[in-house]
A = this chain, B = another copy of it.
Amino acid sequence: MTLIVQKYGGSSMGSIERIAHVARKVLAASQQQPTVVVVSAMQGETDRLLHLAKGLSERPNGRELDALLASGEQASSALLAIALNGLGAKARCYNGAQVPILTDNVHTKASIEEIPPENILNDLKAGYIVVVAGFQGVNEHGHVTTLGRGGSDTTAVALAGALKAKECQIYTDVAGVYTTDPRIVPQARLLSQITFEEMLEMASLGAKVLQIHSVELAGRYQVPLRVLSTFEEGAGTLIALEERLMKHSVVSGIAFNRDEARVSILGVADRPGMGAELLGSVSQLNIDVDMIVQNPSIAGTTDLTFTVHKNDYNTVMEVLQGKAQTLRAREVRGDARVAKISLVGAGMRSHPGVATQMFEVLGQEGINIQLVSTSEIKISVLVDEKYLELGVRALHAAFGLENEPNQEYLSR
């Protein structure tokens, strides 16, 4: 059975009018092929329930909190099914236990273990549109679990995998994934296609369209994902396997992050385990470290530089100043007014000149590069935060991102 899975988030389900609008979109899709829909709770509902719970207990028990929060998606899935029935379609809602979406026992952050597809497939065969409550599942004891915030995306992707769907369409309030933030570069172009790996780099670097976990999951299940707008017409952005790509752009997009702060400890003895000791003192505080660069040793000492979230900057500086004394390091320096710019593109693998071109462009604009970090499909640089917009715009123009590349993904 060739079917699709659609997912509508809380803002798409925010009112009677919006649910009616979603119902019309779902009905149109279901006239093309069997359709399964995953929905989030109505906008504001999860927060309302959380507020009630917090009013009754400072730390609500996970099992009961999950039962509480899951009710929001149960209601919205029923409402969408009611709307579809009202349009003359056959539709049925499912809660997590009814599918069933089997998860582990980690309440409030459960992981999906298995989704037996029989119940849904039987209803699809019988001509029903199936509406599934997102964000929730059921564990081996029959207790309701939830997948954590954004879990409805995960539900949709996992369902698409289990049902071998042709495509998993994530409807949001943006038109898709752009080459960069259109608020900074008005010429930013909607990407028609992007690889899973590129999407992961784009998402983790600040273009928050999709939950990272659901992109990873889609890649693992090889489920083509499409991000598109609930409120505007358009094909959105298809996120697919690189193998589906005939040729590809060298650079697909530019991500950036204003929240980074840079910290350096200079002139520390260059001995095995030193880096681990320094970073360990930070990660002990549950503080994430992003970019890490260690300079070559000069005269038995070395410099270690890394970035953390701006909110953690003061804490980390204090910890390192303590460490510096113990380890007899020369100096601790830091700067909280920095930003990270990243070029992302699967094509970089075969085009080694990208870094050079990036540095040239930034140099021409008088932007000093403080730190560089690279992966196979990404080059990130740290710059003074006042140059962020200038840098992004210059790179967007230099790499020609405003123009559609004359290369295409193979249709599946």
Contacts and interface: CB of A to CB of B under 8 A. Distances in A.
Interface of A: 16, 19-20, 23, 49, 52-53, 55-58, 60-61, 63-65, 67-68, 70-72, 74-75, 77-79, 81-83, 85-86, 91-93, 95, 97-98, 142-144
Contacts of A67: 74, 77-78, 81, 93, 95
A57 B88 CA distance: 10
Contacts of A56: 16, 19-20, 23, 79, 82-83, 86
Given A16-B52, A93-B64, A83 B57 contact: yes
Given A49-B75, A56-B83, A64-B82, 8 more contacts: A19-B56, A20-B55, A23-B56, A53-B79, A56-B82, A57-B83, A64-B91, A71-B71
Contacts of A83: 56-57
A75 B86 contact: no
Q: How many copies does the complex hold?
A: 2
A225 to B, nearest CB: 28
Contacts of A65: 78, 82
Nearest to A19: B56
Nearest to A74: B71
Question: Closest 9 interchain pairs by CB?
Answer: A57-B86, A68-B78, A16-B55, A56-B83, A67-B78, A71-B71, A64-B81, A71-B75, A71-B74
A52 B64 contact: no
Nearest to A67: B78
23 contacts: A19-B56, A20-B56, A52-B75, A52-B79, A56-B79, A56-B83, A60-B85, A60-B86, A63-B92, A64-B78, A64-B82, A64-B93, A65-B78, A67-B77, A67-B81, A67-B93, A67-B95, A68-B74, A70-B74, A71-B72, A95-B144, A97-B97, A98-B143
Nearest to A56: B83
B49 A64 contact: no
Nearest to A48: B75
A145 B248 CA distance: 53
A92 B68 CA distance: 12
A75 B81 CA distance: 20
A78 B66 CA distance: 8
Nearest to A42: B52
Among A16, A19, A86, A97, chain B packs the most CB atoms within 10 A around the CB of A86
A85 B71 contact: no
A152 to B, nearest CB: 16
Given A75-B49, A77-B67, A86 B98 contact: no
Contacts of A142: 98
A408 to B, nearest CB: 40
Contacts of A52: 16, 19, 75, 79
